[in-house]
Amino acid sequence: MLIFTIRRLNLFIFTMLLLTILSFSLSFLFPGEQIINISGATNATAEQLELIALEYGKNSSIINQYWLYIQHLFNGELGLSITSQRSISHEILAQLPATIELTIVALLIAMLVGIPVGFLAAVNHRKLADNAILSFAMIGYSIPIFWLGLLAILTFSIQLGWLPSAGQLSLLYEIKQVTGIQFIDILLSESSYKWQAFQDASIHILLPACVIALAPATIFIRLARTAMMNVLDTHYIKAAMAKGLTFKQIIYRHAIRNAMVQVIRDIGLQFANLVTLAMVTEVIFSWPGIGRWLIESISQRDYTAIQGGLLALSAYIFLVHIFIDFIYAALNPLAREARYGSR
């Protein structure tokens, strides 16, 4: 397990290194002065600019410049936003938690719906239920998220009036921002309307999270279906059948658990896709997250914000990926030992 951890950490460090090289070179590739692109100091006087250039080692070798850039990153200095002149690291800290909250809830919904439905399809292999589920998965996967989001708002917010269409929480409730993750902030707050606020936050997150969850859920359906079918084909299931276990016992005690392991492995991969969907959804549902902020920055050509936002988002995706890898390894010592332990 130690070696496994070290390997993952290594991978993390190298990927982050590559990402910082990318974001560093972006400051050269974007139009305009590199030093302004990297620091965002658009309103600086000539003297101030010189000072900034010195800070970033503008006149030294490119390697040294990169090294100084990394140092700035480690100090949390991502520069100023070119359009608003606010600190990028503050902006990211303010926006990222909302995205984390939304993506995690969406991932949970996708898993809790997708995986059982996939198992159901496998158990009913080639029957009506299987075909129906597969066609649903195909449709769900092909619907463009923009359209789905608008359709959801039109139906559930405007026509039926069940769920709100925008934001994280009705502004009626005054919740102090501590962690940025709304549910935790509500539980920490001393508002007398705490539980109403909690319900309100729940109904606010429901619609965008479901919209994001649809496409990944359909993938989980297919993954779970294949995994379950593979497991049902194995010898130990046949042995269990021969022993006279009921079908229920076989599925609950043996099949589900072993199929889960295979599904979990692919969840990490799906997460990157899910975050991309979340970015678009944040725009549609005015979710105050980093995706919406990044898309706005792109349309305003706010280069420092684009660099910082990309770095933060990819680091987040990568961390979740590694976390899921750990869960997988923890659940499946076989994989862990076969790949890394026995060598």
Q: Which residues bind another protein (CB under 8 A)?
A: 83-84, 86, 108, 112, 153, 157-158, 161, 164-167, 170-174, 193, 195-196, 198-200, 202-203, 206, 257-258, 260-261, 286, 288, 296, 299-301, 330-334
Q: Give how far Cα 59 sits from Cα of 25, 54, 55, Å.
A: 16, 8, 10
Burial of 223 (0-12, 13-18, 19+ CB in 10 A): buried
The rounded distance, in Å, linking the Cα atoms of 235 and 241 is 10
The DSSP secondary-structure symbol of 80 reads B
Q: How far is the CB of 288 from another protein (least distance, A)?
A: 6
Under a CB-based contact definition with an 8 Å cutoff, are residues 149 and 211 in contact?
yes
96/314 with CB nearer another protein: 96
127/301 with CB nearer another protein: 301
11/150 with CB nearer another protein: 150
Q: How far is the CB of 83 from another protein (least distance, A)?
A: 5
56/97 with CB nearer another protein: 97
Residue 80 phi, psi (nearest 5): -110, 150
Nearest alpha carbon to residue 307 among 84, 93, 57, 78? 78
b (16+ CB within 10 A) / e for 246-282: eeeebbeebbbebbbbbbbbbbbebbeebbbbbbbbb
169/313 with CB nearer another protein: 169
209/277 with CB nearer another protein: 209
Partners of residue 266 on adjacent β-strands: none
